Amino acid sequence: MDNLSESTKAAKKRLQETLKQDPKLREAFKQSIDQLRKPENLKPMVESTARLFEALLVLQKAQKENEKR
């Protein structure tokens, strides 16, 4: 878990540095996040994420079944 945490921290730092260097990119990033936080956009995003996880679980189950054979 520490590796993931360190990796996440490093990625966050790189993103912050990139956004600090490019004001246009920073503004576009901010606008994208603001759009994602709107209630009308949140529900489709949650539903899409749920479908993705369902698909991953189906693939994981199929892989386990294939390993048993």
Number of domains in the chain: 2
Structure token pair of residue 46 = 């949650």
Q: Point out the residues of the chain with pLDDT beneath 50.
A: 1
- Only one residue has tokens 């540095």, namely 17
22 and 53 both lie in a single domain: no
Residues 24 and 44 in one domain: no
Model confidence over 46-57: pLDDT tens digits? 999 999 999 999
- Domain residues for the domain of 52 are 39-69
Are 1 and 25 in the same domain? yes
Question: 49 and 22 in one domain?
Answer: no
Query: Do residues 45 and 23 share a domain?
Result: no
Question: What's the chain look like in SS3?
Answer: CHHHHHHHHHHHHHHHHHHHHCHHHHHHHHHHHHHHHCHHHHHHHHHHHHHHHHHHHHHHHHHHHHHHC
